Structure 1
């Protein structure tokens, strides 16, 4: 008996000692996801940004296969990419709807994620989605959905998660044409009406979409209307309870239509940052902004002004003309500053916007659309109801009177507005025609794949888009070595893509060897000659062509140092040679001579 009592006493003492240690355990209700293709240092950066440590949260790694599982048959393979970079911090809550903050995502916004996450079946949740470098964020929803399931212990309905990803792609594609807030407004308001009124009929759904677009002065092509209607028909079949999504959808609508901005004028409500009456554990407003540096694009459902303050404006100008493939996630695209709103009245030229082949991808990681070519809405330059041109990749439309000489796609000054120059009209028409010539469906599968990769490389190398470069080269250490101004980078990318496309489309029969060839492949030799001329490798000081006319491409790069042009030439040919399994040693020697 005494022995038994002694044992009991020892056990009690052990329990007391163990209890006094009070170990720190991870909060099972909070989950951080990290992209598998980030370096260890980048993963640490994201943990610092989220303001948590590994012993405070559960940590998951999201792979590219996870993204494919969620996005296959919804987004093009080129958009899904081959690397996963996006990260997320997720905390389920008991009320308040879905609250989202984003950083370094330039194709999706917090509002897009919030409304699509509600389609997944999530009712209340806090989310921070971010990346250490700028990416499109197409695959961000995958990590968020997986994190929510782990944090909540609830399996989301597979059909609804697929619908959510489809909604993200449909909204993102529309955003490329009309602007992020405009696209989100059209899809979100239409979804609200369909769910609230249990609308099932396709014709009725189409009327809703058309009316919503008109009421918000957004010009939507019939092709995009059809995609939205198809999506909403599937959503209608799921029988959502409007009370479950009401808080989220109405907050998103207030944000994207500007109603939230008006409500915040002059005062900020504490309710916007409180969660269940307690803001001390609010992950959306507890990040460490300083970790990611300056000029980070951010958005928040709780602070709709954050997009404007960080350069991601709400008027449609934030369109990344394409959406780079998510480097695997997120590919990326870092386009900004292209006034592309549906009601853009600043463009009056016949073809001002569609800059010859500007890549307009569905957003994810690969800078270009599935084919890498400019994706138009169905016509070369679609005029919305107010007469404003709305091209799919409108990057240069603004013909401001304050500009002494507008720059066309080649960088050559155009005639001033009061000059009625038929030559300029001809140039504009030619530029518009060029934009329709990029049709990769006429290429063989191998040629199309090579073109798509070159389009990604061009966006990464000339426009400084890290995710496009990563998607093209699959080299995590690869970075653009030369910095060009935004317009020059875009114009240069379009010229190089068009030159390569023409070679692939027209074939190599016209090529005449002259003994200076450096490569085995005729395509490479033809591109080598074009690039040497473009970058002034053979005739660095010449700005005239064989006919004595001003060489537009030479003028485009006139302010670029010759050393930088040599670097751009070498890097481009090295990439192209890699596509054909050749090296550039001999070409480099030739260029050096």
Structure 2
């Protein structure tokens, strides 16, 4: 065997250790699902899998640019789409009633609360979700991957996200982004949650009733919105009302946004995983260098 063949064989062997093979792997392992952005190179994939402490033998769901257009392109601003797909996610399915938590890292546009609100509206209620990227990115590919993951694993998890609710989640994300330009990204999710809580409490029956609830909430918070923003909010919540959503479930489907991902990254279990990974990489590169001696 010549040196070039040895190098190629060693490289393929290392890759097989870092990423599971499709033949032996599952998309749901230990109640966990992993999503990866399609733009990640081999080294970046290894970094993300280690960062998320991916279970052995799992097949990641790959989020593509075509998927992003399918799941988000109808309503999310194009300025936030169409870039490289790097953000990825770990979904840990929880027990019914546990609620939803989200932790993020290197995400610049989709905030934790924006993920929470959009996902609960889409029908995701009981899971701990960790989102990361090796680079600072908007975070839309992770949201795309999460939606795609629930679609692809519905037969195994029993969780089915309807097209109607996924569309409403897209709209909510877009409206939240728009209103956030006025009230601030740190306050807009709280505002949306308060509107939901009031709708759950007051049970408005008409579009005018919904508009009055929204006016009441923004006045209570001393917020001024444009007529266009008010129209978008009223339209969104009216569509939600027509979809006969369980407002009580939506209101209570959220729990703490979760601890910062840095706390996760410094856990003993994760540090042990990183140590094994980098030991393996170190030995791999030593073996390559040895071929040239």
Q: TM-score, normalised by structure 2?
A: 0.72
In 2: Cα distance, 1:60 partner to 1:75 partner: 22
In 2: Cα distance, 1:137 partner to 1:78 partner: 13
Shift, 1:119, TM fit:
0.5
Q: Hey, what does 2:252 align to over in structure 1?
A: 247
Q: Hey, what does 1:137 align to over in structure 2?
A: 139
Q: Alignment RMSD, CA only? A: 2.8
**Structure 2, unpaired ranges of 5+:** 1-23, 268-293
The SS at the match of 2:139 is coil
The SS at the match of 1:235 is helix
Q: Hey, what does 2:227 align to over in structure 1?
A: 222
Shift, 1:235, TM fit:
0.7
Shift, 1:120, TM fit:
0.6
In 2: Cα distance, 1:209 partner to 1:51 partner: 42
The SS at the match of 2:135 is strand
Q: Hey, what does 1:87 align to over in structure 2?
A: 88
Indicate yes or no: 2:163 matched with 1:158: yes
**Structure 1, unpaired ranges of 5+:** 1-22, 256-271, 274-282, 291-593
Equivalent in 198, 206, 213 of residue 193 of structure 1: 198
Q: Hey, what does 1:212 align to over in structure 2?
A: 217
Query: How many residue pairs align between the two structures?
Result: 239
Shift, 1:211, TM fit:
1.8
Q: Is the 8 A contact 2:92 2:128 kept in 1?
A: yes
In 1: Cα distance, 2:79 partner to 2:41 partner: 22
In 1: Cα distance, 2:111 partner to 2:167 partner: 19
Q: Hey, what does 1:97 align to over in structure 2?
A: 99
Q: Hey, what does 2:188 align to over in structure 1?
A: 183
Residue correspondence of structure 1 range 5-24 to structure 2 within 5 A: none
Q: Hey, what does 1:128 align to over in structure 2?
A: 130
Q: Hey, what does 1:65 align to over in structure 2?
A: 66
Q: Is the 8 A contact 1:98 1:248 kept in 2?
A: yes
Cα distance per residue 1:355-405 (max 9 Å; x no partner): xxxxxxxxxxxxxxxxxxxxxxxxxxxxxxxxxxxxxxxxxxxxxxxxxxx
Residue correspondence of structure 1 range 531-570 to structure 2 within 5 A: none
The SS at the match of 1:100 is strand
Residue correspondence of structure 1 range 525-536 to structure 2 within 5 A: none
Q: Hey, what does 1:361 align to over in structure 2?
A: none
* Inter-CA distance 63–176: structure 2 relative to 1 (3 Å threshold): same
Indicate yes or no: 2:52 matched with 1:75: no
Q: TM-score, normalised by structure 1?
A: 0.37
* Inter-CA distance 184–246: structure 2 relative to 1 (3 Å threshold): closer
Indicate yes or no: 2:264 matched with 1:287: yes
In 2: Cα distance, 1:96 partner to 1:110 partner: 18
* Inter-CA distance 207–62: structure 2 relative to 1 (3 Å threshold): same
* Inter-CA distance 43–196: structure 2 relative to 1 (3 Å threshold): farther
Find runs of 4+ consecutive structure 1 residues off by over 4 angstroms.
23-26, 283-286
* Inter-CA distance 285–134: structure 2 relative to 1 (3 Å threshold): closer
Shift, 1:285, TM fit:
8.5
